[in-house]
Amino acid sequence: MITKLKFDPVDAWQPYSPSVNQPWTIRLAAHLLRRAGFGGTQAQLIQAEQTGFAATIERLFDVNSAQAYNQEMEISGRLVTTSADAKSLAAWWLLRMAKTPCPLQEKMTLFWHGHFATGAEKVNDSRAMLRQNALLREHCLSPFQPMVTALSRDVAMLIYLDSTENRKTRPNENYARELMELFCLGPGNYSETDIKEIARCFTGWEVRRNQFVFNRHQHDPGQKSFLGVHGNFDGDQAIDAILQQPAAARFIAKKLIRFFVFDDEPISDELAEPIAVELRESAFDIALAMKRILSSKIFFSDLSVGKKIKSPVELAIGALRFFDVSVNLQQLGDRLQRLGQLPLYPPNVKGWDGGRSWINASTILARANLFHEIFNNSSNTYAAGSLADWVASQPSDPQYAANWINDFLLAEPLSTAAATELQQQFRRSPALAISCLAAVPQFQLN
């Protein structure tokens, strides 16, 4: 049922509309909810299928639905950072991902965290990490420029990229370089001179006692020339000039496509262009670009379905949500770190590479072992009561029950015989069935 068309760049981003040839199915709903969040429960997926595609997209983007929840979590985030290190804050974020009523918001926040990667180890101030996390969440589905402007003043970012002492006589190029290479333009779209000049714009942007301060004595007010513009620019104006570059929208479009659509397929300028245009014409409104991507033909085609590997966070949070199980999140954080992805602890300023880099001989076994550990731990609690109760509470309607593992859980199906055998095992010993499922290559796909 998944369309096998090859797309030309323009057609790729045309809206998908359910039709007889391409009906809106549980499998497509599961694909959408996995990518736009951390997967849905069976009830949520059935609801998505029954209320239809358009209504599902609307619900995904309804950020207001999380308002009350977000307020609660802000309070506990503050308390967590009072006493504990950023590892606990990472656990707090994992909890938030597992329980949020608006998964797209957390998924986007995670995306931007990887994009503007900042490591808690170096920042060494969990309050600053918490503030940055709130900032990313606040801007995650809004215009891009205000987010960059805010991040340029963010304490954690300034510490992480050594711009805490960016003085007139000795401008630190680190932030200016990453601003263009990693945050806004991508390599090849600026010169070393541009870096030097833009670094001057940010001189005097300092951190003092955990606060951002503009130190006018250290700011270089002189004339700067970069990217074809000249003037007595400051940092905000530099950001403005950078985002005026045609490469900027294309760069962001490519990053979004890579994160949400597929791992391996090359992304040509042509393919990215329609999304880039969307961004340019909407003052970089990320929500619009995301709606376009998540509603596109290519997103629901075989170029995308089953063409991403689950990140460790997607793997674990997906299971917590699907089976509605509560676990010790600090321990889960430790496990995820060994699997290669603990939020707030990116490997370096590039963030997580994703895709095939998640997988090696050690992690492929550890991923399965994580599930074995979670589902054999008797101190974990299930909303349904127990794992057996969870199995018993699943829909019995044969339309959904007959092939539920393939439909609800797998982006690339198992053979019918294998799936049936596994479903039977779920009735006999669900913990064993899940542990085995987690060892299957198909399960690693998102």
Range 267-296, binding other proteins (CB under 8 A): none
In the complex with other proteins, which residue's Cβ is closer, 224 or 307?
307
Q: In the set 11, 58, 74, 264, which binds other proteins (CB under 8 A)?
A: 264
384 binds other proteins (CB under 8 A): no
Q: Which residues is 226 bridged to in the sheet? A: 229
Three-class SS of the chain? CCECCCCCHHHHCCECCCCCCCCCCHHHHHHHHHHHCCCCCHHHHHHHHHHCHHHHHHHHCCHHHHHHHHHHHHHHHHHHHHHCCHHHHHHHHHHHHHHCCCHHHHHHHHHHHHHCCCCHHHHCCHHHHHHHHHHHHHHCCCEHHHHHHHHCCCHHHHHHCCHHHCECCECCHHHHHHHHHHHHCCCCCCCHHHHHHHHHHCCCEEEECCEEEECCCCCCCCCEEECCEEECCCHHHHHHHHHHCHHHHHHHHHHHHHHHCCCCCCCCHHHHHHHHHHHHHCCCEHHHHHHHHHCECCCCECCCCCCCECCHHHHHHHHHHHCCEECCHHHHHHHHHHHCCCCCCCCCCCCCCCHHHHCCHHHHHHHHHHHHHHHCCCCCEECCECHHHHHHCCCCCHHHHCCHHHHHHCCCCCCHHHHHHHHHHHHHCHHHHHHHHHCCHHHHEC
Min dist CB 213 to other proteins, Å, is 11
Q: In the set 64, 67, 244, 381, which binds other proteins (CB under 8 A)?
A: 381
28 binds other proteins (CB under 8 A): no
Burial 223-249, CB ≥16 within 10 A → b, else e: ebebbeeeeebbbeebbebbbebebbb
Q: In the set 22, 41, 51, 127, which binds other proteins (CB under 8 A)?
A: 127
Q: In the set 150, 277, 288, 440, which binds other proteins (CB under 8 A)?
A: 440
193 binds other proteins (CB under 8 A): no
Q: In the set 6, 78, 170, 230, which binds other proteins (CB under 8 A)?
A: 78
Q: In the set 210, 225, 244, 268, which binds other proteins (CB under 8 A)?
A: 210
Residues 92-121 that bind other proteins (CB under 8 A): 92, 95, 98-99
Min dist CB 181 to other proteins, Å, is 9
Min dist CB 145 to other proteins, Å, is 24
417 binds other proteins (CB under 8 A): yes
Query: In whole angstroms, what is the distance from residue 79 CA to residue 355 CA?
Result: 35
CB 7 within 8 A of CB 291: no
Query: In whole angstroms, what is the distance from residue 399 CA to residue 77 CA?
Result: 42
Min dist CB 81 to other proteins, Å, is 9
Q: In the set 209, 216, 228, 378, which binds other proteins (CB under 8 A)?
A: 209
CA nearest neighbour of 254 among 245, 265, 243, 244: 265
Q: Mask: binding to other proteins, 316-335, rule CB under 8 A, as x and -?
A: ----x----xxxxxx-x---
360 binds other proteins (CB under 8 A): yes
Stretch of residues binding other proteins (CB under 8 A), selected from 187-195, 225-233, 390-398, 427-435: 427-435
Q: In the set 366, 393, 394, 423, which binds other proteins (CB under 8 A)?
A: 366
In the complex with other proteins, which residue's Cβ is closer, 240 or 263?
263
Min dist CB 133 to other proteins, Å, is 15
Q: In the set 19, 21, 169, 211, which binds other proteins (CB under 8 A)?
A: 211
158 binds other proteins (CB under 8 A): no
71 binds other proteins (CB under 8 A): no
Min dist CB 274 to other proteins, Å, is 25
Stretch of residues binding other proteins (CB under 8 A), selected from 10-18, 223-231, 242-250, 343-351: 343-351
Stretch of residues binding other proteins (CB under 8 A), selected from 142-150, 185-193, 198-206, 380-388: 380-388
Min dist CB 46 to other proteins, Å, is 23
302 binds other proteins (CB under 8 A): yes
Stretch of residues binding other proteins (CB under 8 A), selected from 31-39, 54-62, 69-77, 144-152: 69-77
